[in-house]
Amino acid sequence: MNDRAMGGLILGGSLGFGVLYVWLLLLSPWGYIGLVVTALVAVLGVLGIVAWIGYTMATTPPPKPIEDLPEEKPEAATEATA
């Protein structure tokens, strides 16, 4: 499937879901539940991203301090580029 067809499917799906969502909130008796579920999904999504960032920060080893890195000689750097 090429990019244009995939883009068309994404566009059509999002428009269809938008119409369904408007109908759910404004015209169906399930409007309140639709708002609650939407808010729940949004909050859990944000909290999931925050938890992922925290896990990554907690499990990533710290970088070496700059003073511990080996120093390069200026002559060696210019010879490598030539």
Q: What is the pLDDT of residue 68?
A: 60
Q: Is the pTM of this model over 0.85?
A: no
Q: Give me 52's structure tokens.
A: 């992922």
> What are the backbone dihedrals phi and psi of residue 38, each rounded to the nearest 5 degrees, phi first?
-60, -45
* Domain assignments of the chain as residue spans, ordered by start: 24-59
Q: What is the pLDDT of residues 19-71, one digit of tens each?
A: 999 999 999 999 999 999 999 999 999 999 999 999 999 999 988 887 766 66
Which residue reads 């909290």 in tokens? 47
